[in-house]
Structure 1
Amino acid sequence: MHIRRHHRVLMTSNLDNAVELLFDSILDDALFEPAIAGLGQAMGNRRALLIWSTRVGKEAAEIVATHRADGADFDTFLSDYGAYYHQYDPTKFRWESMREHHWLVEDQTESRQVWASGHFYQDFALAQGIVGWAALKVGQSAPERGTHDWALTFPRDRGAKGFDAAALHAMQHVAPQLRRAFHLRRQHAELRRLANAGLEAFNLYRFPLMLTETDGRPRFCNTAAERYLAQATSCLQMKSTMMQARVAEEQPRWRSFVAAGAQALGNAAAGIRLRDGNGIPVLIQRLPLTPSLRSTSAWERPLQLMVVHEQSSLDAATSPEILRYVYGFTQAERRVARALAQDRSLLEIAEASGTKPSTVRSQIKSMLAKTGCRRQVELVRLLVMLTGFVGH
């Protein structure tokens, strides 16, 4: 009895320390992996996986963090799981029916018939020496959206003891704290990304420019956008925290436009025309994100970059301003951009500007880096879309 009580005290201490580390890791990334390791230790020194999925059961889950107790063997496990076997993980197909902060526990000793067949069990789990697992539905990283589920999973290795009921209960008890820590960590990562992106330059752009999430929720509006959205006749309006088309009949088109941007993950340019309160069509362009604004981890929700043109066609000065204030093009790069949009060759551009072809090639390389375009054809497509070039 004394040994069991000592074990529970040690387990609780490990769990408390892990939760404390998890909150500390919001400001110090170096503490995040030790925090996940602490959760694995609190569950009996087990392997631990933090998994995130936008649509559990429909898409591949993303492994955000792990506690590796066995080095190279666990690397093989992660590689196989991430590359193929996540498709057969039975946890996902029962996930939506589970209640938040509850466990899904499956063990070979309790369900031998299930473990005797099936790709996941035979080809992956048993082959990896796994004879069970416990998955805690921590909750949603963004509860207001009804998406982005977190799963904290602990595999049971062959030869290891079964899951301790007290450990399961203790972890379930702190699940709300875990969700809060994960949610705060995501928020901090996104704020840090916006701060590092140098958004003050966007306020120099005199047209309405907005950064929105992939559901249309605005994260940043420059000064011009704030003024525009405050107008009673603007083509977009705020409803609660969501940005919607002012004309109700056009809301389905706006929703489809935003959803298409979510699938493109900020890489594709496109446009839509919406009527404002006076019935005048207004052009909204979605532009490729600058590299500093693109998501680099599962902690950062994808963004979209949108520009509102209060006329139905582009003003002659619009494109150079976008290239200057949004993408940071120099005056020389803007001249090259205009020539590329007019289908001029590299040699023609060099001859017209009195420079060497190698100089033009370097300028194009710089423009690719600033826009995040991977190939010159993508850059030209963007420049052609941004019509109305003038020599600034």
Structure 2
Amino acid sequence: MSDTLLDHIYESALIPEKWSGALDGMNRISNSRSNSLFVFSDRFSPRGISTDMTSDLLEAFLQSDAWRMSPSVRWTLDTRPGAFSSVDDVLSEEEAVADAVWAPLAARGFGQRLATVIPLSSGDQVTFVLARMRDQGAYSAGEVAALDGLRPDLHRAMFISARLGLERASAMTETLARLGLAAAVVDPTGKVIGSNALLDSLSIILSPTALGRIAIRDRARNQVFRQGLERIGNRDAPPGGLSIPIPAAPDGSHPPLLIHLLPVRGAAQDIFAGGQALMVVSLLERKAAPLPELLNGLFDLSPAEARLVSELATGMTPRDITVARDVSMATLRSQVRSVLAKTGVSRMADLAQLLAQIPIANVRND
């Protein structure tokens, strides 16, 4: 996977008009000819952008309600595939022929489509739909795997980009204010270049240090934070962002929180005065059991690990899971150890507390 593509994705998080370039990069690694990004919400009409070959069809799609009756769109939004999945394999020939959204694409010679949904805690659904020409045949396992490897980074980037409404923010202070979230721009040493008042109010979990830097009061999580900053600042290190969960305080002084650390790349560095990382703190409120695809995006869990966590959150015991999945207890214990490490907790009790607070809104579009 190209490090440049990941940089482009994180640049797009802060300058949403850059998403067209990121979509082109996803086309290249999967040999696709079209890639479209949509944000579906109960709060506003669908929004989206598309690469050149299908950009002329985008306006009609967004301004019409035809998508509500489209079998392919309905399957994608209702199923919410947590990995890039073939849309065409699940539709009957009759459904494909009657699909008003698919008809103009088929007329241009497009064949197989891959779609994935990234659910956001706001209730919005971010959908990526890629397509290739009919004479290219089906996507290979390697091409699908390359796209799936991007999902955690796409999730972090869309967490911010969806808040900005796929429109460019022209200044650092405007960007932070429009996020509606506690946020700060920091350099690789943790020095704060700019922050908003919401972040300044979180002194119970964050503390100022020497030379204008910021730190997480919890020592273990601050170490993870520092390592994340160092990785973002080191162009030779593996690229990518980071999510750090902060459990609720035992004394009730603060609720569960999640700290997102996103690289600032490309032209976004001009907006953010040379800062290299955007630190965003979001409040976790209990709404329902978390979806596996949301867990995958928040903590970079594998599909099997995300499924395990979701099963535990519904009350299944480890023994129940081994029987239902026909896996050994040793395999399950290995997955549990990996989940604890990725979520930053040391005990199953702490994990249960964290899971109880992860938000998931009603994302149906009936």
TM above 0.5, one fold? no
Larger CA Rg, structure 1 vs 2? 1
Point out which structure has higher relative CO (alpha carbons under 8 A, 6+ apart): 2
TM-score by length of 1: 0.38
